[in-house]
Amino acid sequence: MLEPKAGDAKQPRDPNLDGFIKKTGRDAGYRKAAQFLVILGKDEAAKVLRHLAPEEVEGIALEIARIEHIESREAAKILEEFGYIRETRDLIAIGGLEKAKEMLLASLPAEKAERILEKVHREMAPPPFSFLQDIDIHQATAMVREESPPVVSLILAHLEPRLAARIFAVLAADNQREVALRIARMGKVDPEVVRRTEEALRRKVRSQGRVVTQEIDGQEALTRILRFMDPAKEQAVLEGLDPNTAAEIRKQLYTIDMVLRIPDKELQTVLRDYADREIALMLKAVEDPVRERILGSVSERRRDFIRLEMDALGGVRRSEAETAVSDFLGYLQLLEQKGELTIVRENEEYV
C-alpha cells in the first residue's frame, strides 16, 4: 500500500505530475514521472494518466517504453521525491513497450491509446540507415559511394556523424561538393522516400552478404595461445615473426607473475644468483603475491636481510625498480630457453 509521507498533509493521494513536469523541465519531468508510474503499477498509474494532457501522456508513455527496470534503492528515492513512502526492499519495477501499452489501454479509450502507441513505436524505432553502423566500414563505404549524390546526401544526413564523416571523406571531390551543398539545403524529407531508400540499401547488403567485423588485438590473442604451448613450440613460433613483433609478444609472455609458476627448488636456485640488494630493488615494483612468493623462496635469515635492504633503499624511482624486474625476467627467459628452468604452462598440472 502506497502512503503519503507522514506530516505532509498538502500531498494529494495522486501526485500532480503536471506541476512536477513544469518544475523539472519537459524531458526530465517525463522521465521521472514515467519512473514513478512504473513503480506505482498499472492500476494506480491509469488513474493518474487519465488527468494529463495528451502531449504529456505521449511523453510519459515514450519514457515508460524506454525503461528497462528500476532497482529497489532507486525506486525508494523516486517515491520520496514525490512525497510517498513504500516498502521497496524486494521491488524491481519493469518498464518497456508492453508496460506502456498496458497503462495506456487501462487509462484511455482504445482508439486514443493505439494512436499514442503508434507514435511511441515510431520514436522507439532505430534511426534510418543505422544498420550501416553494424557492418564493416569498408563495405558500408563502398555501397554508399556507388549511390547518386541525392541519395548519398539523404543517407549521410541521417547517419551518426563519425560514420558519415568517414564515408564523406572517400567521395570524389566533385561529389563531396554536391553532397555538402544538398545536405546544407536539406529541410523536410518525405518519410516514404527515406523508407524506400533504406530498404533498397538493405537489399543491397543482403545480396552482397553482410560483413560484420570486430576489433581484435592480434598480439594479445597470440600471446594467450602461446601461454598454452610448450617452450620449444613457443620459441619456433616467435622465431617465425618479425623481430619487433616477437619482442613485444615476449614482453607480454614473460611477466613477473610467472614466478608463481616456477617450481620451488628452481626458483630458490635462480634467487641465489641475485644479491640481496638486487632482489630488494625488484620487490619495490611487484604486487604482494609475487613479493610473498619470492621472499618465501629464500631462507628466513636472508629474508630479513632483504627486508633491511628494502628499508635502506627507501623511495626509489619506479623506472629504476621496473628495470630491475625487466632484467630479472630476461634472465628467466634465457634460463628457460637453455632448458635450465621450468615455467609451468597454463595447461599443465602437477599431481
Q: At which of 124, 153, 176 does a domain end?
A: 124
Q: Same domain for 193 and 258?
A: no
Residues 134 and 109 in one domain: no
Instruction: Tell me whether residue 140 is in a domain.
Output: yes
* Cell reading at 125: 524505432
**Is 246 part of a structural domain of the chain?**
no
Write the DSSP string, 94-147. E-SHHHHHHHHHHHS-HHHHHHHHHHHHHHHSPPTTGGGGGS-HHHHHHHHHTS
Domain match, 10 and 59 both? yes
Whether residues 199 and 292 fall in one domain: no
d(CA 85, CA 77): 9
Are 37 and 64 contacting, i.e. CB atoms less than 8 angstroms apart? Answer: yes
Give 96's contacts (C-beta < 8 A, 6+ positions apart): 64, 65, 67, 68
Number of domains forming the structure of the chain: 3
Q: Do 74 and 57 share a structural domain?
A: yes
Rounded CA separation 1/85 (Å): 9
Q: Where are the beta strands (DSSP E) in 192-303?
A: none
Say if 348 falls within a structural domain: no
108 phi, psi to nearest 5 deg: -130, 160
* Radius of gyration of the CA atoms of the chain, in A: 33
- Cβ neighbours, 10 Å, residue 10: 6
The answer on 157 and 119 residing in a single domain is no
The answer on 177 and 273 residing in a single domain is no
Handedness of CA 8, 14, 19, 20 (dihedral sign): positive
pLDDT score for 143 = 84
What was the pLDDT predicted at 275? 92
pLDDT in tens, the chain (351 residues): 444 444 443 333 344 455 555 555 556 678 888 888 888 788 888 888 888 888 888 888 888 888 877 877 777 777 777 766 565 555 667 777 788 788 888 888 888 888 887 777 666 666 788 888 877 788 888 888 889 999 998 888 888 888 888 888 888 888 888 889 888 888 888 888 888 988 888 888 777 765 544 555 677 777 777 777 777 777 777 778 888 887 888 777 778 888 888 888 999 999 999 999 999 999 988 888 889 999 999 999 999 999 999 999 888 888 888 888 888 988 888 888 788 888 776 544 433
Same domain, yes or no, for 101 and 163?
Answer: no
CA distance 299 to 278: 16
Range of the domain at 27: 3-124
Q: Say if residue 117 is in the same domain as residue 199.
A: no
User: Is the residue at 203 inside a domain?
Assistant: yes
Task: Extract the C-alpha cell encoding 224.
Answer: 594467450
Q: Are residues 120 and 31 in the same domain?
A: yes
Per-residue model confidence (pLDDT) at position 6:
45
Q: Is residue 32 part of a domain?
A: yes
Q: Please say whether the beta carbons of 72 and 94 come within 8 A.
A: no
- Residue 296: inside a domain, yes or no? yes
Please enumerate in sequence order all residues whose Cβ is within 8 A of that of 165, keeping only pairs 6 or more positions apart, or say none.
none
Q: Which of 108, 124, 140 delimits the end of a domain?
A: 124
Q: Do 178 and 270 lie in a common domain?
A: no
- The pTM of the full predicted model, rounded to 2 decimals, is 0.38
What's the pLDDT score for residue 215?
A: 54
Domain boundary among 73, 94, 124: 124
- Domain of residue 174, CATH code: 1.10.220.30
Rounded to an integer, what distance in angstroms lies between the CA atom of residue 15 and that of residue 297?
A: 69
Q: Is residue 325 part of a domain?
A: yes
- Cell numbers for 187: 529541410
Same domain, 117 and 136: no
Would 350 be classed as within a structural domain? no
Q: What is the pLDDT of residue 295?
A: 92
Residue that the C-alpha cell 509521507 belongs to:
5
Taking CA atoms, 143 is separated from 92, 113, 152, 289, in Å, by 45, 41, 10, 54
